[in-house]
Amino acid sequence: MIPINSNDPNGCEAISSNCVVWQGPDLPCVEICTGDTISSVIAALCEQLIECCEEAAINGFDIDVINQTTLDGGPATTLETLIQLIINNIGGSTSGSEFDCDQVMKCIVNVEECLRSETTYTQMTLEDYLSFLSVLICDILQQLALHSSQMNGNSERITALEAQGEYTTPQRVAAGNLAGGAVTAGQTYPIDTLLDALDTDYVTLRTATGEVGTWNTAVSAQPANLQPLIKASWPASYDANPTVAGQSLANAWAVADDLREYSQSLEARIAVIENNCCSSASGAYRMLDSVTEYMNGATCSAACTAAAPEGDVAAACFAIWNSSGILFDTNVPAYLESTMTTQLTNDQWYAICPGGNTIVAKYSTTYPHWTGNTTCDAGGEVCV
């Protein structure tokens, strides 16, 4: 139905009743829903009115009392023709203006809930709704085309796999012996056989070494502020705060090496004590042992030359005494006699007789008492 302006006293813009929607609540009793067009609503109401009148046997309806002066095409003589006349006037007559597409495109329509999103309203103009649906349909068609292409590709791959026949387990050459000889290095095995052997070895290794938590506990057990006993410093591999087992093992080797040198130093000191114990009431011990003697010189080379094995130097060599008996002990002064009366000459070098490949050092009357420890060459005349 197309509306016209002839019956509109306010001169409002004409719009089709098919483009006007019912905004009220759903009325199940008369089969009217929110969003139905006004044309559908009026038709449903009229049908219900006729049905009610028939059921109530209302036959005495007086149409003459109805004011039909504002209705074109009248007057109606029966209730049915009156209802039809009302519908014709609401919807307009065939003499009205032609159908206006622009007006129809501006009609408000409800957007289905399944199509709503953050950028989609619950209501849109018919023009916007059609545009929205067009874009959505294009996207769906593109997705369908993509899925169709993927399905075709999968079908081809499945066909190719089926053409290959029965599945064959991949094989691999073993890089090493596994599972106590069950797998031999250089031999080819199915990959599941290698995996079983690797799993067996892994479980065996984990049983022997413990879980990860056990390793973490061992790594964190390193004492704080660990310092060398005899070495000047730890090796570069030492880590004061280890976090992995490799760092902890490197630290353990550094400590073991340091302890070995310290134990060797203790053995030397004990040997000196055993060789010189109680030999002097004054508490002095011959430096190193009871048979070692020395020669001195103003320089390292002079001391080595004086202690050289060529010639008879035995008569000139002399013993050195100190309170520890340790060779070139930096912590105690050294003397020429057991009474520890005459201290060695300051800034003089002293080499062990005979001087070939023997140790030489420089003496100081103040701490540290010995410095510059080195050796004479094979001939005993040059410091190395």
Please check whether residue 9 lies inside any domain of the structure. Answer: no
Residue 85 structural domain: 17-106
Q: With the CA atoms of 115, 120, 123 and 124 taken in that order, what torsion angle do they form, in degrees rounded to the nearest 10?
A: -110
Q: Both 285 and 363 in a single domain?
A: yes
Query: What is the per-residue pLDDT for 348?
Result: 97
Indicate the pTM of the whole model. Answer: 0.34
* Alpha-helical runs (H) found in the chain: 38-55, 79-91, 101-105, 126-163, 191-209, 212-219, 245-276, 300-306
Best CA proximity match to 87, nearest among 50, 41, 52 = 41
Q: Specify the higher pLDDT residue, 68 or 314.
A: 68
Q: Are residues 325 and 351 in the same domain?
A: yes
Portion of the chain with pLDDT greater than 90, in percent: 20
Answer yes or no: do 93 and 143 share one domain: no
> For residues 333 and 369, is the Cβ–Cβ distance under 8 A?
yes
CA distance 235 to 256: 12
Residue 256 lies in a domain: no
In-domain check, residue 378: yes
Residue 56 inside a domain? The answer is yes
Residues 280, 372 within the same domain: yes
> Would 240 be classed as within a structural domain?
no
Q: Would you give the distance in Å from CA 283 to the centre of its chain?
A: 67
Residue 166 lies in a domain: no
The total number of structural domains that make up the chain: 3
Least trusted range by pLDDT, from 8-17, 104-113, 253-262, 305-314? 8-17
With residue 295 as reference, give the H or E element that holds it. strand 294-297
* Helix runs in 56-116, H state only: 79-91, 101-105
Confidence of residue 1 (pLDDT cuts 50, 70, 90): very low
Residues 119 and 22 in one domain: no
| Average pLDDT, integer, range 277-297 | 79
Does residue 228 carry a pLDDT above 60?
Answer: yes
| Whether residue 343 is found in the same domain as residue 310 | yes
Q: Is residue 239 over pLDDT 90?
A: no
Pair (94, 120) in one structural domain:
no
pLDDT at 233 exceeding the cut of 70 = yes
161 in a domain, yes or no?
A: no
Eight-state DSSP code of residue 21? B
- Give the tens place of pLDDT for each residue, 241-256: 899 989 888 988 988 8
